[in-house]
Amino acid sequence: MTVDVTVVGGGISGFACARAVRDAGGTARVIDRGRRPGGRLASRTIDGRAVDIGASYFVVGDDERFARVVADWEARGIARPWTDTFSAFDADGTETRKSGPMRWAAPAGSRSLVLDLADGIDLESGREVEHVGPHRVDGKDAGEVVLAMPEPQARRLGHGIPLAPQDWEPVIAVVLRWEERRWPADLHGAFVNGDPHVSFIADDGDRRGDGAPVLVVHTAGDAARGFLDDAAAVIAPVAAATRRLLGIDAEPVSTHAHRWTFARPVHVTGEPFFRSPGLSLCGDAWGESPAVRTAWASGDALGRALAAS
Ligand SMILES: Cc1cc2nc3c(=O)[nH]c(=O)nc-3n(C[C@H](O)[C@H](O)[C@H](O)COP(=O)(O)OP(=O)(O)OC[C@H]3O[C@@H](n4cnc5c(N)ncnc54)[C@H](O)[C@@H]3O)c2cc1C
């Protein structure tokens, strides 16, 4: 008998899970509440251009299975190596350059990575699931049910999930667009330490490769929490801090704020996924660090485990 899986959550972990099930000969469908899938790998069209408002980049890491997926994306032009060097600003504004692992980006926007994984998978978009239980989704038989989403979102769907509650942190992503580029070409991105409003600045035109004069700025934790009920109000202090740090002498011509209530887990579990009969969980809290590669690996591992059961 082959396994039949219903995945609730159309982010990267949900599709990694569905593909692993399908590749092992099982059947899988994905339900997502968004008009388009992607989850936190989100690109939003602003002033006619897709801007990455979720994950800034991804790192391949040492998972050979994920490395093969990324190599295939690179060969087909869906992902590209972006940079291994970012700036880091100290509290007094001092800038240093820091090298690390290669960070990858998607020329068509990060959502395109998930859309590629979704290709050929049975998907129902625009449906908000309200209740799940073992083998049940909204009161109907659903085979093995997988919740591929942050734990606080999963918890809302079922009272019987035998799992300790997890703490998650918010982030507000602020898009700032100018008429022309007004910062150094080799900025790529910058970690910001000690600023009350800004934690990371990404050069969206640089990572996407089209040179658009757009920055995406992620708020520092306290600012995200403080402005969660009125995300637009954080734009002014974020724009001011960004201009000061990068020496930009003009106001942006267009701005946008996107609120991520559950941006990242405060702690990761270290386990690859959560499994109980008929109802399992995967996502970026399941692994070594909350990241795109972790979410993919968690979904892939759960899908293979379900198919093998
Ligand atoms: C601002 C920000 C910056 C980040 N930066 C980085 C970075 O630089 N590098 C990195 O590696 N990672 C980064 N991340 C983390 C990365 O985006 C995530 O690890 C990854 O995208 C998680 O994928 P997922 O599939 O586990 O969850 P998600 O992408 O959250 O997918 C969950 C899905 O479930 C759906 N859903 C929820 N409830 C329901 C329901 N009731 N019914 C139907 N569907 C539902 C949602 O619509 C969503 O599509 C960042 C995240 C954020 C928010």
pLDDT-based confidence at residue 305 (cuts at 50, 70, 90): very high
pLDDT-based confidence at residue 294 (cuts at 50, 70, 90): very high
From the CA of 173, give the closest atom in ligand 1.
1
Its domain, for residue 41, covers 1-50+110-166+273-309
Q: What's the mean pLDDT when you consider all of the chain?
A: 96
Name which residue sits closest to atom 15 of ligand 1, judged by CA.
291
- Asked if the structure places residue 75 within a domain, the reply is no
User: Are 190 and 205 within one domain?
Assistant: yes
User: Are 259 and 289 within one domain?
Assistant: no
The three-state secondary structure class of 278 is coil
Name which residue sits closest to atom 32 of ligand 1, judged by CA.
149
Rounded to the nearest 10 degrees, how much is the dihedral formed by the CA atoms of 180, 249, 95, 79? -20
Q: Is the pLDDT of residue 221 over 90?
A: no
From the CA of 37, give the closest atom in ligand 1.
49
- Asked if the structure places residue 159 within a domain, the reply is yes
Distance, CA 173 to ligand 1 centroid (Å)?
13
- Asked if the structure places residue 233 within a domain, the reply is yes
Distance, CA 89 to ligand 1 centroid (Å)?
27
Q: Which tens digit of pLDDT belongs to each residue from 254-275?
A: 999 999 999 999 999 999 999 9
Confidence (pTM): 0.97
Per-residue pLDDT at 165: 87
Q: Number of folded domains in the chain?
A: 2
Distance, CA 149 to ligand 1 centroid (Å)?
7
User: Are 27 and 129 within one domain?
Assistant: yes
From the CA of 171, give the closest atom in ligand 1.
1
User: Are 92 and 203 within one domain?
Assistant: yes
At 219, which CATH number? 3.90.660.10
Pocket test of ligand 1: the residue of 66, 83, 137, 149 to mutate, having most ligand atoms within 8 Å of its CB, is 149
User: Are 99 and 244 within one domain?
Assistant: yes
User: Are 248 and 260 within one domain?
Assistant: yes
Rounded to whole angstroms, what are the CA distances from 157 to 35, 107, 221?
Answer: 20, 35, 27
What is the distance, to the nearest Å, from the Cα of residue 124 to the centroid of all Cα atoms in its chain?
A: 20
Q: Which tens digit of pLDDT belongs to each residue from 154-189?
A: 999 987 777 888 999 999 999 999 999 999 999 999
- Asked if the structure places residue 73 within a domain, the reply is no
Count CB neighbours of 75 within 10 A. Answer: 9
From the CA of 41, give the closest atom in ligand 1.
21
Q: Concatenated DSSP letters for 172-198? A: EEEEEE-SS--S-TT--EEEE-S-SSE
Per-residue pLDDT at 91: 87
Q: Is the pLDDT of residue 207 over 90?
A: yes
Residue 220 DSSP code: P
- Asked if the structure places residue 68 within a domain, the reply is no
Q: Is the pLDDT of residue 1 over 80?
A: no
Question: What value does the mean pLDDT take over residues 30-58?
Answer: 96
- Asked if the structure places residue 74 within a domain, the reply is no
Name which residue sits closest to atom 51 of ligand 1, judged by CA.
55
User: Are 178 and 300 within one domain?
Assistant: no
User: Are 101 and 114 within one domain?
Assistant: no
- Asked if the structure places residue 218 within a domain, the reply is yes
Q: Cβ < 6 Å from ligand 1: which residues?
A: 8-14, 31-34, 37, 39-41, 54-58, 128-129, 148-150, 153, 157, 171, 173, 218, 260, 263-264, 283-284, 290-292, 295
- Asked if the structure places residue 250 within a domain, the reply is yes
User: Are 157 and 302 within one domain?
Assistant: yes
User: Are 187 and 257 within one domain?
Assistant: yes
Distance, CA 307 to ligand 1 centroid (Å)?
24
Distance, CA 285 to ligand 1 centroid (Å)?
10
User: Are 104 and 216 within one domain?
Assistant: yes
Pocket test of ligand 1: the residue of 7, 30, 40, 268 to mutate, having most ligand atoms within 8 Å of its CB, is 40
Q: Which tens digit of pLDDT belongs to each residue from 68-120?
A: 999 999 999 999 999 999 999 998 889 999 999 999 999 999 999 999 999 99
How many helices (H) and strands (E) the chain has is answered by 8, 18
At 137, which CATH number? 3.50.50.60
The 3-state secondary structure of 94-117, one letter per residue: CEEEEEEEEEEECCCCCHHHHHHH
User: Are 125 and 183 within one domain?
Assistant: no
Q: Which tens digit of pLDDT belongs to each residue from 109-142?
A: 999 999 999 999 999 999 999 999 999 999 999 9
